[in-house]
Amino acid sequence: MLALALAAAVPAMAQKAPAPASAAASAPAAAAPSSPAKKALVAKILQIQQPAIENMARQLAEQPAVMLMQQAAMALQRLPADKREAMAKSLQADAKKYADEATPIVRDRAVKLAPSTIGALLEQRFSEDELKQLITMLESPVNRKFQSMNGDLQRALGEKLVAETKPLVEPKVKALEQSVRKRFEAAAPAAPASTPK
C-alpha cells in the first residue's frame, strides 16, 4: 500500500514542482532537517505500514527457499516413486526450518531500516499536510476494508488465472523442460563403454 501511495504521489508532485534553477540552489532545500512534527507523522505512517513492511520482508526471506523447492520438485520426479513422498517431506521440513530462522532476521532488519529508507523518502517528498492526508487515507475504514480483502482478491485472480492459462502454459513448460533436459544430456560426457572380459 505504501508503494502505491508513493507511486501515485510522485508523478503528481513532479507536475506541481517547478524545476530547480540549479543543482546548487536545490541542495540546501534537500538538506534542510525535518521538523519534529514531520518526523512524528512519518513515524506514524511507518507504524501503520509495519505489517506491510514485515510481509515484504517475509516474502524476501522465503524467496530462496521457494526457488529451491521448485527446483527440488522437478528433481523429485526423477526419484523412484516409493522414495518421493519421504524426500518431499524432508525437503519441506528443511525449507520450514530455514524460513523459521531467516524470516525473523530479515523482518527485524526491515523494520529497523524502514525509518532510514522509507521514512527518509517520505520526509523528502511529502509536506506535513500531505503526510497528514496520507495518514487519514491509510487509517480510513474503507482503506482498511480494502486492504483486508487483498488476500481474497489475489486468491480470486490467481485461481482464475491459473485455471485459464494452465492449458496454454503447461505445454510450453513441458517443452522448456525437454529442451533443458536435452541440452544437459548432450553436454554430459558419454558413459564409458564396458570392456569385455
Residue 67 included in any domain: yes
For residue range 138-165, list pLDDT tens digits in order.
999 999 999 889 889 988 998 999 899 9
Residue pair 137/5 in contact (Cβ under 8 Å)? The answer is yes
Both 136 and 163 in one domain: the answer is: no
Both 125 and 83 in one domain: the answer is: yes
For residue range 20-31, list pLDDT tens digits in order.
333 333 333 444
Both 138 and 93 in one domain: the answer is: yes
For the chain, how many structural domains are there in total? 2
Residue 23 included in any domain: no
Does the pLDDT value for residue 44 go beyond 50? yes
Residue 194 included in any domain: no
pLDDT at 195: 57
Both 39 and 133 in one domain: the answer is: yes
d(CA 197, CA 195): 6
pLDDT confidence band for 185 (50 / 70 / 90): confident
Give, as one character, the DSSP assignment of residue 77: T
pLDDT at 189: 72
Residues 6+ apart with CB under 8 A from 111: 50, 53, 54, 57
pLDDT at 197: 54
**Residue 20 CB neighbours (<10 A):** 12
Does the pLDDT value for residue 37 go beyond 90? yes
Residue 58 included in any domain: yes
10 or 48: which leads in pLDDT: 48
Element (H, E) at 193: none
Does the pLDDT value for residue 15 go beyond 60? no
Residue 51 included in any domain: yes
Cell of 67: 526457488
d(CA 150, CA 161): 16
3-state helix, strand, coil in the chain (%, to 5): 85, 0, 15
Residues 6+ apart with CB under 8 A from 76: 84, 87, 88, 91
Domain interval for residue 168: 149-182
Both 39 and 50 in one domain: the answer is: yes
Residue 122 included in any domain: yes
Both 46 and 136 in one domain: the answer is: yes
Both 92 and 169 in one domain: the answer is: no
Residue 92 included in any domain: yes
Both 114 and 161 in one domain: the answer is: no
